Amino acid sequence: MNKIIVVLLLVSCCFFSFSDENSHYKAAERLLALTISEESYNSVIEQSIDTQIDANPQIADFRQIMLDYMYKYMSLSAIKEDLIQLYMEYFTEKEILEMEAFYMTDVGKKASKLLPEMFKRGTQLGQQKVQENMGELQQAIADAINDKE
């Protein structure tokens, strides 16, 4: 009789563990769908490629090849499972449900819509600051080279 109870306890623990893992996965999947669209994700990929082209105009002729490659390996559909696993690794199911609730509000929807544009503008601002102060970096590198000699 004791063996039957032990087996039943083990089976029920495994079932509940699987059930918890499955609901955690589903919550992460829903959150991902709420926060990132394929269109906005592709826009970030395009912005990244265009930033590289701005920095290296000689690669402009290869823009479409680079985009095709990135869409193949970096599109949302290509990395969806990995992103879901990241959510599950960094956030508990309860935390994911709380974020999901936020992204269902008007402010959450606005944030989800505007964050890719804000990321783009933030990147541009950072690049602008670097360009404005490039002389300082070049001087520091030149000084370091002179000190080695």
**Per-residue model confidence (pLDDT) at position 65:** 96
Task: Summarize pLDDT for 41-99 with one digit per residue, the tens.
Answer: 888 889 889 988 988 999 999 999 999 999 999 989 999 999 999 999 999 999 999 99
Four-point Cα dihedral 54, 55, 57, 63, nearest 10: -60
Kindly state the percentage of the chain with pLDDT values over 90.
Answer: 44
Contact 74, 49 (CB under 8 A): no
Polymer length of the chain? 149
**Per-residue model confidence (pLDDT) at position 70:** 92
Task: Summarize pLDDT for 27-37 with one digit per residue, the tens.
Answer: 999 999 988 88
Q: Where are the domains of the chain?
A: 2-148
Kindly state the percentage of the chain with pLDDT values over 70.
Answer: 87
**Per-residue model confidence (pLDDT) at position 27:** 94
DSSP 62: G
Pick left, alpha or beta for residue 105 (phi over 0 → left; psi -120 to 50 → alpha; otherwise beta).
beta
Q: Residue range 99-125: average pLDDT?
A: 88
Q: Which residues of 30-44 are buried (b: 16+ CB within 10 A; e: fewer)?
A: bbbebbbeeebbbeb
Task: Summarize pLDDT for 12-24 with one digit per residue, the tens.
Answer: 444 444 447 899 9
pLDDT at 130 over 70: yes
**Per-residue model confidence (pLDDT) at position 1:** 55
